[in-house]
Structure 1
Amino acid sequence: MNCPKCKTVELRKRGYDSPANCYKCGGMWLGRKQLPQFIEHADSGINESGGTGRHDEITGLCPSGHGIMIRARIDIDQPFYLEKCPTCGGIWLDYGEWEKIVSKNFKSVSFNPSNSKKRICPF
C-alpha cells in the first residue's frame, strides 16, 4: 500500500491491527474494521513521525486500491478535510488531524460532504 498523498512511499504498520502510517508525511490509513478499536483508544499517540499539514489540499487514491477517495470537511476551530474511500470505508488522516478530532471530542465533530447536509462524523 502506498501513501495516497506522497504516492511513492509505502505505508508501514507497527502491528497487525495498527493503522498504516506514512513515515514521510506523517499521514495515517485506518481501515473500516479498525475504526471502532482505534476510537476506543483515542488518547493513544499515533503520529510519531514528522509531517506537515500541506497535504490537506489534495485528495488521493485509496491505499487499498479502490480508486479516488471522497473528501469531507471537518468544521472545528481550524477546519480541515478527511478523505474516505466510498468502496472500502477506510479513512485517511493527514498529519495531526486525529489529534485535532480527539481534542474536540470526535463524537461531536460535524462531517460535511460537499454535496450533503451537515451530519455527525460517522465514526
Structure 2
Amino acid sequence: MRCPKQKNTELVASKLDGDLKCSHCESCQGHWLSADDYETWRSQQEKPKKPLSGLDFDLEFQPSEYDAKAGLCPECGSYLARTRIDLKQPFYLERCAGCGGMWLDRGEWETIKKLNLHVVLPHVFSSQWQIVMREMLQTEHERQAVIEKLGKDLAEQLFKLTDAIESHEHGDFAAAYIMRRFDRDKYLDLNLNS
C-alpha cells in the first residue's frame, strides 16, 4: 500500500497505542487505519463517558503540512472524504467512503485522543456530529463574546448562575424574571428620556 500523501512511499506495518494495527508512512509520519483493524481495537476499548460533551477548542495543535493535500485510499483507490476538527488551529481527518479506512496525518491521533474522540472516530464523519460541532463552536464563540463584553469575573458569575438556573426545577421562572426586569428597565429608560 502506498501513502495517500506521499504517493511514492510504501506504508509499513506498525501499531498505535500498543495494539491498534495501522500502516505508517515514514516520510510524512501519517497513519492508515483499516476499518477492520480499527473496529477490532475499538470493540476492546471502554466507551468514553461523554465524547461530545465539550471540546477544548483552545488545544494547541500544529497540523501537518500535508493536512490540506487530498489523498487517495491506499486500499481501494477512492478519494478520501474529509471532516474538519475545529480547534484554535483547525485540521482535517480523512476517511474512505468505500472501505471505511481512515487516514491520520502526523500528530492527529494524539490530538484526537486528547479530545476523547479516538474511540468514536467513524461518528466524527457523520452529518449529525458536524451539526453538534457547529452548535458547540457557536456556543464557545458566544461564551468568549460574553467574557469580552462583561469581563472574566462577571462572566464567570453569569455562567455559574446560568448553570444553577438551568438545573433548577423552576429555572424557567428565574429566566422569565430576568427578562421582565430588562424589558421593564428598557421601557423606563425610553419613557424617561422622551
Q: Percent of pairs identical after alignment?
A: 38
Residue number in structure 2 paired with 1:111: 124
TM score, norm. by length of structure 2: 0.48
Query: Contact conserved, 2:84 with 2:92, CA < 8 A, in 1?
Result: yes
Q: Distance in 2 between matches of 1:38 and 1:26?
A: 21
Residue number in structure 1 paired with 2:24: 21
Residue number in structure 1 paired with 2:91: 80
Which of these two proteins has the greater Rg computed from alpha carbons?
2
How many residues were matched structurally? Answer: 109
Residue number in structure 1 paired with 2:136: none
Which of 74, 92, 95 lines up with 2:103 in the alignment?
Answer: 92
More helix by share: 2
Q: Distance in 2 between matches of 1:62 and 1:119?
A: 26
Q: Which runs of 4+ in 1 moved over 6 A?
A: none
More strand by share: 1
Say whether 1:34 aligns with 2:45.
Answer: no
TM score, norm. by length of structure 1: 0.73
Residue number in structure 1 paired with 2:151: none
| Structure 2 residue ranges without an equivalent (≥5) | 47-62, 134-194
Deviation digits for residues 40-84 of structure 1, max 9, x if unmatched? 39xxxxxxxxxx710001120000133211111112343210111
Residue number in structure 2 paired with 1:57: 68
Kindly report the root-mean-square deviation, in angstroms, between the aligned alpha carbons of the 2 structures: 3.0
Structure 1 residue 86 displacement after superposition: 0.3
